[in-house]
Structure 1
Amino acid sequence: MTTEELLIAKWRNLSPDKQQEAIAFVDCLSRPNTDSPLGQKLRAIRAKILESGIPLLTDRELEQEIRERRGDREASY
């Protein structure tokens, strides 16, 4: 079995959500690596979180967490 055939066989066993993740991953691989070291570190952290299955915060949840960490506990939605 060629590498391409193996990839296609594995692709067919993925759920639609996992197929979208695979597409995003391949897109990421094909982009030139122009990230700063910090950007690379943050992307690696994000990838580990996604692999763990922990859901990412929404924009709203992230803003709320930032406010709370800064001590503004009264400002909530």
Structure 2
Amino acid sequence: MDDNDADRYLRQANACLEEAQRATRVADKEAWLKLSEEWMAWRRKRSGKALMSIETVKDAAGSHCSGDH
């Protein structure tokens, strides 16, 4: 994988995190967080690097998906 792919996957993951932060419904927030984790997993798989876990992604989003409706 070249750096452009890694950057693209990271940009996609970050865009999903931003959407999760804006989401007002729990289901939407969880869906965006899952998509972000999938982008990061794809990046890890392609690069072989240990990157963010779902807990790190959730912390970065500033939510543990509770209490929002």
- TM-score higher than 0.5: no
From the two aligned structures, give the one with the greater helix fraction.
2
TM range (shorter): 0.3 to 0.5
TM-score normalised to structure 2 length: 0.36
What TM-score results when the alignment is normalised by the length of structure 1?
A: 0.33
